[in-house]
Amino acid sequence: MEHNLQNKHITFVRRVARRMPRYLPFAVLILIFVGLALIQINRLKQIPLNEAADAFQKFKEINLLRNNAPRLPSDFIFEPSLSERPPKRRAIFTALFRANDAHHVKPNDADWFFTNVYLHAYTFLVDPVLRLKPDDDAEFVVMVTDMVPASYIRALLDFGARILKVPVIEIPGREKPGDKYQYLYTKLNMYRLDRVFNAILFVDVDLNFFKVSPVSLFRYVHPVSAVNETDHPHFFASTREWASGNGVFNTGVQLLIPSEFHYQALKQLALDPKKSKYGDQGLLNTYFHEKGPRPWLELPQIWNTNHLESRTQAEVTRGVGFHGKLWSECKLLSKDSFKALWPEYQTRMVTLRRLQMEKLAQAASCNTTIMPIVPQSCEMWMDRMVKTAADKIFLNIALVSYTESSNLKKDNQAIKSHRDFADFYAQASHFVIEESSSESLPRLARQLKKVFHLFDRYDWIWVLDDVVFKTPSTPMHLEINNLKSGGPHIHTFRDCDNKTSGSFIMNKDGQKKLEKYLNTFAPKFAEMSNEDIWKALLEEFTKFGGKRSLKVMQKSEWYEIDSNIHCQPYLNSAIYGERA
């Protein structure tokens, strides 16, 4: 009996041994899982119960948001997504459907729309008085299409705007490439957001609010019951058109409750050319006719003060929202409109540019379009906008100063004048290279290295010695206008003895040549003088017949140099050699 039992045990062991190779991988996996579970249990033991509960609750909330995120048409894309940043109940919308990259083409009037979209972003997200508050339960959304450059979208996202990318809506058989009404029907996409927002306030891109926020208009919203079983409840409000002939109301302001039902009905109605003159404005005037089944609600006209070329002082004073292309029509404004509106517009554009330039100075690279320099004079602005090439309108400029450590701590007149000049209209960033006792490189070597790194962010870099800028009176673009991009890479001036220069200006087109120069000579900088460095630089930029890489200008009218020094320090160290 005992012998038989022993034989059975031996037989069992032999069977297991024969089958072990087959089950070994599964056994190893089981051991791994058990080990990981034990590690995780040990970690959980170290987490306080309240923290574990909070983490679990957060996980549930994120999951709930993902599962309950409103369903959108498949070709709608929100950025940030609705799960990343849950939507508010209400939204202020504007639209930018087409824009050219300003660095590649000369912008036409429509391409200027994006500058005012940025201004809207500043108004609703940054302005200390007009920005949306948490209690408003509203957010700012820009509706765009694929025709808007990524750099413009990034700038809006930086401000905190939400982007909604939508498909273009064109009415079949009525496409008119280049026509100003071509993309206006695309605004109808916002009616499809009934699962996202309870109410939407749409403001045209050229409608500005300078002192009072339009967020209070949401108090007018109330759904109107359908008049029959085939219709749906609706709500639409706007302001009455000031001039006759363009419809009863002006769709520069639209306050609405989104509805997929009304979106489909509007698209169907748009197929009738008699029902949709003047783009979406004519279509909406027909659909929400005051004597029809879906009457519109009239808002006070002060929220959409248009036809600014004809407005009186009293009308402008009463106005809250001002509808007009201030960037291109400032000469057309009535005297009263201009006096009240242009200073407001100019001040905000400079503030907006200053915010961007401050961020640019701290960034590692530039991937957004910087706002143009807007002067106080409408005439100067219009002259510039019409006659200036696009790459001079949207300028990223940096000034680079150099000073000894002791001078930086004192009231250094030159450094102060450089800083004030850069701050004028927020026209440039200002960087100061401080001389260091531990730094053995010559001044020019450090300046050229700084220039190369700044080319990641700036189009033009002006390197200055101890020159003193005169009191600014006009924007810097007037000087830059004389310097053609795609032409000379380095510009100098005949400041001292008609030979040497108190500064040099480089444009980004010369970045590759500068990189090649630095790769060759930077290892030798410690043994070279400023004059040697400058001579080698000019030889690099002008060899192989490349004389266009250097241009010597006449004496600069923008700054002065100390005549008591007789140019000697410039020749010996600070300024960079004789005329090439």
Of all helices (H) and strands (E), which one includes residue 238? strand 236-240
Separation of alpha carbons 128 and 217, rounded Å: 19
Residue 511's CB is within 10 A of a number of other CB atoms, namely: 16
How many other C-beta atoms are found inside a 10 Å radius of the C-beta of residue 191? Answer: 21
Tokens of 342: 């242009």
Q: Provide the pairing of β-strand 138-144 with 90-96.
A: parallel
Q: Concatenate the DSSP letters of all residues of 143-194 into one string.
A: EE-TTS-HHHHHHHHHHTPEEEE------TT---TT-TTTTGGGGGGGGG-T
The amino acid sitting at 375 is P
Both tokens of 103, joined, read: 């660095």
C-alpha 441 chain-centroid distance: 38
Q: Among candidates 427, 453, 577, which has minimal Cα distance to 504?
A: 577
DSSP conformation letters of 200-218: EEEE-TTEEESSS-GGGGG
Half-sphere exposure (Cβ direction) of 98: Cα atoms closer than 13 Å = 15
Do 298 and 273 contact (CB within 8 A), yes or no? no
Cβ neighbourhood burial of 284 (10 Å; 0-12, 13-18, 19+) = buried
Angle at the Cα of 220 (from 216 to 221), degrees rounded to 5? 110
pLDDT of residue 571: 37
Q: Classify strands 297-299 and 321-323 as parallel, antiparallel or unpaired.
A: unpaired
Note if the pTM is more than 0.85.
Answer: no
- Looking at residue 480, its pLDDT comes to 76
Round to whole Å and give the CA distance between 253 and 471: 43
Q: What is the pLDDT of residue 36?
A: 61
3-state secondary structure (DSSP) of residue 138: strand
pLDDT tens string 246-257: 669 999 999 999
Residues 6+ apart with CB under 8 A from 284: 236, 238, 249, 251, 254, 266
pLDDT of 574: 38
CATH says 395-574 is which class? Answer: alpha beta
Return the pLDDT at 60. 40
The token pair at 182 is: 């071509």
Q: Which two tokens stand for residue 273?
A: 């050319």
Assigned token pair, 51:
């923290």
Domain boundaries, the chain: 23-68, 77-302, 395-574
Helix (H) or strand (E) holding 49: helix 49-68
Q: DSSP state, 88?
A: P
pLDDT at 137: 98
Nearest to 450 by CA among 430, 420, 469, 468: 430
How crowded is the C-beta side of 352, counted as CA atoms within 13 Å? 28
- Give dist(CA 536, CA 346) in Å, integer: 45
Distance from chain centroid for Cα 568: 46
d(CA 463, CA 502): 9
Cα dihedral: 150, 152, 155, 156 (round 10): -100
Question: Tokens in use for 278?
Answer: 């003047």
Closest CA to 341 of 318, 322, 355: 322
CATH superfamily of 77-302: Spore Coat Polysaccharide Biosynthesis Protein SpsA; Chain A (3.90.550.10)
- Write out the H or E segment, with its range, that includes residue 321: strand 321-323
Torsions phi, psi of 166, nearest 5? -130, 160
- Token pair of 546, please? 């490349």
DSSP 254-304: EEE---HHHHHHHHHHHTSGGG-TTHHHHHHHHHT-TTSSSPPEEEPGGGG
Query: How far apart, in whole angstroms, are the C-alpha atoms of residue 266 and residue 287?
Result: 7
Taking the C-alpha atoms of residue 541 and residue 560, their distance in angstroms, rounded to an integer, is 27
Per-residue pLDDT tens digits of the chain, which is 580 residues long: 545 545 555 554 455 455 555 555 666 566 666 666 655 555 544 545 454 445 444 444 434 443 455 578 899 999 999 999 999 999 999 999 886 655 445 556 656 888 899 999 999 999 999 999 999 999 999 999 998 988 889 889 988 999 999 999 988 766 666 665 678 899 999 999 999 999 999 999 999 999 999 999 999 999 887 766 567 889 999 999 876 656 699 999 999 999 999 999 999 998 887 776 667 888 999 999 999 999 999 999 999 999 998 898 899 999 999 999 998 888 888 888 888 999 999 999 999 999 999 989 988 666 677 888 888 888 888 876 666 666 667 778 999 998 876 555 555 888 999 999 999 999 999 999 987 766 788 889 999 999 999 999 998 999 998 888 988 877 887 777 667 655 688 888 888 777 778 889 998 989 999 999 999 999 999 999 888 998 888 888 887 655 568 787 888 888 888 766 656 545 333 344 444 3
Cα separation, 162 vs 140, in Å, equals 6
Whole-Å CA distances, 351 to 379, 382, 565:
20, 20, 39
Q: Do 77-302 and 395-574 show the same overall fold?
A: yes
Q: In whole angstroms, give the CA distance from residue 472 to residue 493.
A: 19
Q: Which residue has the tokens 């140099």?
A: 561
Neighbours of 202 (CB within 10 A): 21
Burial, 436: exposed, middle or buried (Cβ in 10 Å; 0-12, 13-18, 19+)? Answer: exposed
Beta bridge mates, 92: 140, 201
Residues 531-572: tens digit of each pLDDT: 899 888 888 888 765 556 878 788 888 888 876 665 654 533
Q: Where are the beta strands (DSSP E) in 116-233?
A: 138-144, 162-165, 199-203, 207-209
Contacts of 292 by beta carbon, 8 Å cutoff, 6+ apart? none
Supply the pLDDT for residue 343.
93
Rounded Cα–Cα distance for residues 169 and 264 (Å): 12
CA within 13 Å, CB half, 130: 20
